[in-house]
Structure 1
Amino acid sequence: MKVIYSVLAILALGACSNEELNLKASSVETTSSGERWSEVETYEGNPTWVIEIDETETYQTITGFGGAFTESTSHLLMKLSPELRAEVLKAYFDSSGCDYTLCRTHINSSDFSLKSYSYAPVEGDLALAHFSIEEDRDDIIPIIKQAQGISQSGFKLIASPWTAPPWMKDNRAWFGGKLLPEYYSVWGEFFSKYVEAFQSEGIDIWAVTVENEPLGNDSHWESMHYTPAEMREFVVNHLSPSFEQHGIDAKILVYDQNKGAELEEWSEALLTDSVLKANIYGTAVHWYNSTYDWFPASLQRTHELAPNHHIISTEACVDAEVPHWRDDAWYWKKEATDWGWDWASPETKHYHTKYVPAYRYARDIIGDLNNWVEGWVDWNMVLDRQGGPNHAQNWCIAPVIADTTLNEVYYTPLYYVIGHFSKFIRPGAVRVALDGYERDGIMTTCFKNEDGSYALVLLNMTDANMPFEVRLNGQAWRYNLKAESIQTVQIQN
């Protein structure tokens, strides 16, 4: 693949090779001490541990990695100078940057919109004659199209609704409530109109989730509730038939909320239904049930129930925090808290401890990848120094922070952490087994790309360096995994 070769060319000065089979290895690291995708020299001493790549045992195939085109992100990017806007989008979508290949956007407004809005604002418009995506023409659509023009690889786009128009709901409100049964078919047609409208703009919707967080929230922002049975009814008898009638091949993902006990409950209900399974692509998950646990048992159970279906992590962010501007050290300290620090129930409070933001990102991605997740999508790509704009005042952190008054941006360490995966584990890559990789405070995962190259990602959450040796087919390379760091080793024929 062109992207992998270009990255390896940049790292060629630090590569070591085996002449007999012409295998080459190179490595980059991001550390708490300031390295950012920095080249790693080979290690000449004795390793502390050995990792063996076993390509004979394979698992899931990767769809991609990326972030979300929210109205907040798009609005901020449009307020930057054209030059700085292009720089940020290149940082995310060019092969010299993170090279994102899987992204998300919202259908109607979300909490990360400037206001609440719907594409079907006219009450009682059962034929959706007044349907319009005009609200997105000032920001979301032009930013997606500019990103399309920058990306050499292309990216898939997932679209998710936070709520139907209030006039379709039992509480007639943006927040909470349920879709009234008499509007199920209209809401299914709404999805089709949305996909067709974006297609007319040159933007293909690869997949939709039925509902962002169907268990709801505490009414601070757009939401709509489903039970598993209600979601099944909507998909089987309304959404899927509408897609079929309109010739739409967008994939359907169910659930779209947190891993853990709720995921297992929904998977047991939905993935044991043969009729529903025939109409869906897989399951979408989020990370907000814990600051440290990626709930592997729930992911394993979801895979076991439907091994031919797919699991995609569609949302994650440092929530309930105002961004720290140009303060790399904060992102490597155990100081961040989440919503659950204040609001979790007593029985789940232990899941919401203080955490290191850089570790949380890398830990969740590696934990997900090692448990059948095929794609991982961050939330907002860009936010301002307050953690918005956000009409719900639900402040969060993004990998890139923008100050539109100064026309400046700050690439936080989180941007570089995500890049350790998105740059080097490409769509079509297959996870392969590792032997000897388990260490306290260390996490690893490894993938074989379609071009035959390998990407081994290692996370060191300890305060000690860890010299290691990686072996593949009888050949070996040694590197030093620094304390408080993430490193990606590449091996190529």
Structure 2
Amino acid sequence: MWKSILLLFSLSLLSGCLTAQSVTPWLTRGDQSVLLSERATVDFASNSSSNDATITLDNGTAYQAIDGFGFMLTQASAQVIRGLNTTQKNKLLRELFGNDGLRLSAIRISIGASDLSNSVYSYNDVNGDTDMNNFSLNGPDKTHLIPIIKDILAINPNIKVLATPWSAPPWMKTNNAYVGGRLQNQYYAAYARYFVRYLQAMNAEGISIWGITPQNEPENEFNEPSMLMTADEQVDFINNHLGPQIVNSSFSPKIIAFDHNCDNTAYPTQVLNQSSYVDGAAFHLYAGDISAMSTVRNNTGKNVYFTEQFTGSNGNFNGDFSWHMRNVVTGSLNNWSRTVFEWNLAADSNNEPRTPGGCETCLPAVTIPNASSYSRNVSYYIIGQVAKFVQPGARRIGSSNNNGNLYSTAFRNPDGQRVVLAYNDENSSTTVRVREGNNSFDYNLSAKSAVTFVWTPGDVGFSGYYNILSRRSGKGLDIANNSGGNNANVQQYEINNGGGDNQRWELIAAGGDYYDLKVKSTGKCLSQRTNSNANVVQQDCNGYNRQKWQFIEVEDGYYSLRNRRSGKRLDVAGNSTANGANILVWNNNNNTNQQWRFEQVETTANRSARTQVQSKFVERAERVGLFPNPAVDELTVTLPDTHDFSNATLFDAAGRQVLMAPVSTEVTQLKLNLKELPTGLYTIHFNSPTQPIVRKLIKN
């Protein structure tokens, strides 16, 4: 049977306490003298006034949720990335998709060839095969694209994949060609079957498709490949063929309409208002104004996505960076976009491979001239300035600024962290003031430069004591033999009922984004033993950098702990799960033996404000009801009438995700099928941008 246990202190309480008065700026200058570089921290102070360039935040006003940021991963991109030697390929992919890199959270790929493929091809060139008996991914995508996607998934299993066709197979089209033409009405059902077979084939490769658009640039007949599709045709295709076939399949990707320029709002408005299958519309900005996204969103009540814009090889860094920051990034996000994709991820020194009619001047994010090197171009920094900091599930929050040459947008990450992006389009530096409530900070932003400010609001420091638990083993940091001496070894050890004082840690703000971890039994600090010795021990707290730790969120309430002196991560030696395994610092490897969660086991009585927060949390947690039904192995979950949970995620005792169910704000009851789960301890996380809840479950 199942039993539910109220967990009074959720991991959200950690993020509520992970608070700093300091703000970390990340800067890119248009003159390229600084490129996505962390700068010296600045501090909030009590000051609610404005200056000539003030960004004012309104955290109480929330807009769209963010799905992700990334690039078009064309077949050509995958081909040149695969041409790198193994060391360089792995380095590049970690740099792009890893937690220490750009943290790209989405990719866009083509269904069949795009114009940046090494040839034109489809997945079924057999004339008249309407049943798709000859459908196959074999060819350039199976050879190049799919292996790279699998490499990316190994780094970020949660990457969102948006898939778009440039053309149907020629035999389905009015001109029997890859360029131009329309989909013949007699093949609408077959083409919908083509999409479903694609979803099946990609799933068989271990690749889940998050979203599809029916046609890239349906008003452009000159690309190679390309295909025309009117709004009436798209409505017919989606409503009578694509939508029903997907609903009757085992897949549920978002169907996103249009996928073309901002100069036409009538087309996407018509499709969105006439199709219940469509989630929203996608946009490019080769024509029109970015405000078209708001127009369509307001006219339809559905989502909007920015999916493509290229930088040209005949352009210049400063000009392209400026235009894209103003229009593509802050522009689309302030007009309700849930994604930002740039075109294209990678190419060789000649901007190839491409089809004969493909784009000759599209400058990739990364140029790969040979097997042993690569270089970064302007779109790398355009997307990096936001992707590295704004997490999937973040909410854009209310913000305004009083300077026409300052472009800005602001977000609240799922853990409560604030992110503000600002671009100074002046020809001289300006002092930017960021104001939240009665506090503000100032930052001198150079001309033609973008800065991303990152901080966690609230009280400074933590309340009470915490167990610090390894994701790999579920065991906690422990002073070996309960020693009181300096340089006593720190190990992992099983913790029961909150453990002893040698397993309880106080977390104290140490400036910037860093914290001292002080064990209750001795009052000594967690420390790398010496600047050159990787062993982790307890030492008298003396302010050394080797005693300071930065908490970097990984996912699902787990953190990587980065040592300020060495830059290395807190690590369980040998990936061990055994009691007594040594703790040390080691190079970041994204493994679960370097991921930690915090469970509060003791509060501090004299922190009345925190106690009030805890009381509110307990009250809200008690309104989440868990009702197991052992007869059918089903769990019914009741939620408050008013909540902002985005999903419910179930984790086993080792911290592995075993089940996830999306939750909308209108849902007040969920039913979770638990038949496939073995007996044991589980936690269920109700994720929220303001205050997540965590409950425990036991299956006997």
Instruction: Return the TM-score normalized by structure 1.
Output: 0.84
Is residue 2:319 matched to residue 1:318? no
Structure 1 distance, partners of 2:136, 2:92, is 29
Matching residue of 2:290:
295
Deviations 1:414-451 (A, max 9, x none): 3122111101111111111123x132322000011110
Alignment length (residue pairs): 432
Structure 1 distance, partners of 2:65, 2:273, is 23
Matching residue of 1:78:
82
Is residue 2:368 matched to residue 1:402? yes
- Do the aligned partners of 1:417 and 1:486 also contact (CA within 8 Å) in 2? no
Matching residue of 1:216:
220
Structure 1 distance, partners of 2:266, 2:382, is 32
Q: SS of the counterpart of 1:149?
A: helix
Matches within 5 A, 1:447-458: 447-458=411-422
Moved more, 462-471 or 132-141: 462-471
Matches within 5 A, 1:60-79: 60-79=64-83
- Do the aligned partners of 2:218 and 2:228 also contact (CA within 8 Å) in 1? yes
Is residue 2:388 matched to residue 1:387? no
Return the offset for 1:179. 0.6
Moved more, 468-477 or 52-61: 468-477
Structure 1 distance, partners of 2:55, 2:220, is 43
Structure 2 distance, partners of 1:492, 1:75, is 40
Is residue 2:230 matched to residue 1:227? yes
Structure 1 distance, partners of 2:123, 2:116, is 16
Matching residue of 1:247:
250
Return the offset for 1:473. 2.7
Return the offset for 1:252. 0.4
Return the offset for 1:47. 5.8
Matching residue of 1:24:
22
- Do the aligned partners of 2:365 and 2:377 also contact (CA within 8 Å) in 1? yes
- Do the aligned partners of 2:22 and 2:42 also contact (CA within 8 Å) in 1? no
Matching residue of 1:426:
391
Partner amino acid for 1:358?
F
1:491 corresponds to which of 451, 455, 459 = 455
Is residue 2:80 matched to residue 1:116? no
Matching residue of 1:14:
none
- Do the aligned partners of 2:416 and 2:456 also contact (CA within 8 Å) in 1? yes
Deviations 1:170-208 (A, max 9, x none): 110001001111100000000000001000000000110
- Do the aligned partners of 2:257 and 2:268 also contact (CA within 8 Å) in 1? no
Partner amino acid for 1:253?
I
Q: SS of the counterpart of 1:271?
A: helix
Q: Which has the higher strand share?
A: 2
Is residue 2:350 matched to residue 1:416? no
Partner amino acid for 2:266?
E
Return the offset for 1:90. 1.1
1:331 corresponds to which of 307, 317, 331 = 317
2:324 corresponds to which of 334, 357, 361 = 361
Is residue 2:112 matched to residue 1:147? no
Partner amino acid for 2:420?
L
Q: SS of the counterpart of 1:246?
A: coil
Q: SS of the counterpart of 1:394?
A: coil
Matching residue of 1:475:
439
Gap change, CA 1:229 and 1:180, over 3 Å in 2 = same
Structure 2 distance, partners of 1:371, 1:467, is 26
Return the offset for 1:267. 2.9
Moved more, 79-88 or 155-164: 79-88
Q: SS of the counterpart of 2:273?
A: coil
Matching residue of 1:346:
none
1:94 corresponds to which of 83, 95, 98 = 98
Return the offset for 1:459. 0.6
Q: SS of the counterpart of 2:171?
A: helix
- Do the aligned partners of 1:42 and 1:477 also contact (CA within 8 Å) in 2? no
Partner amino acid for 1:315?
E
Matching residue of 1:190:
194
Partner amino acid for 1:27?
P
Structure 1 distance, partners of 2:205, 2:338, is 28
Matching residue of 1:459:
423
- Do the aligned partners of 1:359 and 1:461 also contact (CA within 8 Å) in 2? yes
Q: SS of the counterpart of 1:129?
A: coil
Matching residue of 1:236:
239
Matching residue of 2:499:
none
Is residue 2:335 matched to residue 1:371? yes
Q: SS of the counterpart of 1:143?
A: helix
Matches within 5 A, 1:100-179: 100-135=104-139, 136-151=141-156, 154-179=158-183
Return the offset for 1:169. 0.6
Return the offset for 1:97. 1.2
Moved more, 68-77 or 476-485: 476-485
Structure 1 distance, partners of 2:279, 2:300, is 10
Structure 2 distance, partners of 1:185, 1:310, is 26
What runs of 5+ residues in structure 2 fail to find an aligned partner? 1-14, 458-700
- Do the aligned partners of 2:330 and 2:407 also contact (CA within 8 Å) in 1? yes
What runs of 5+ residues in structure 1 fail to find an aligned partner? 1-7, 9-18, 325-329, 333-355
Return the offset for 1:246. 1.7
Structure 1 distance, partners of 2:33, 2:225, is 39
- Do the aligned partners of 1:30 and 1:417 also contact (CA within 8 Å) in 2? no
Q: SS of the counterpart of 1:84?
A: helix
Q: Which has the higher helix share?
A: 1
Deviations 1:105-147 (A, max 9, x none): 0011111111111110111112111110012111000000001
Matching residue of 1:38:
37
1:443 corresponds to which of 407, 422, 437 = 407
Partner amino acid for 1:24?
S
CA RMSD after TM alignment: 2.1
Matching residue of 1:16:
none
Deviations 1:336-387 (A, max 9, x none): xxxxxxxxxxxxxxxxxxxx11112212210000111111111221011111
Q: SS of the counterpart of 1:137?
A: helix
Partner amino acid for 2:279?
Y
Gap change, CA 1:34 and 1:188, over 3 Å in 2 = same
Partner amino acid for 1:246?
S
Moved more, 201-210 or 468-477: 468-477
- Do the aligned partners of 2:255 and 2:277 also contact (CA within 8 Å) in 1? yes
Partner amino acid for 2:392?
P
Instruction: Return the TM-score normalized by structure 2.
Output: 0.60
Gap change, CA 1:33 and 1:71, over 3 Å in 2 = closer
Q: Which has the higher contact order (CA 8 A, sep 6+)?
A: 1
Return the offset for 1:468. 1.9
- Highest Rg: 1 or 2? 2
Matching residue of 1:202:
206
Partner amino acid for 2:165?
P
Structure 1 distance, partners of 2:347, 2:309, is 14
Structure 2 distance, partners of 1:247, 1:217, is 33
Structure 2 distance, partners of 1:174, 1:33, is 41
- Do the aligned partners of 2:52 and 2:403 also contact (CA within 8 Å) in 1? no
Return the offset for 1:303. 0.9
Is residue 2:269 matched to residue 1:268? yes
Matching residue of 1:327:
none
Moved more, 393-402 or 264-273: 264-273
Return the offset for 1:305. 1.6
- Do the aligned partners of 1:43 and 1:480 also contact (CA within 8 Å) in 2? no
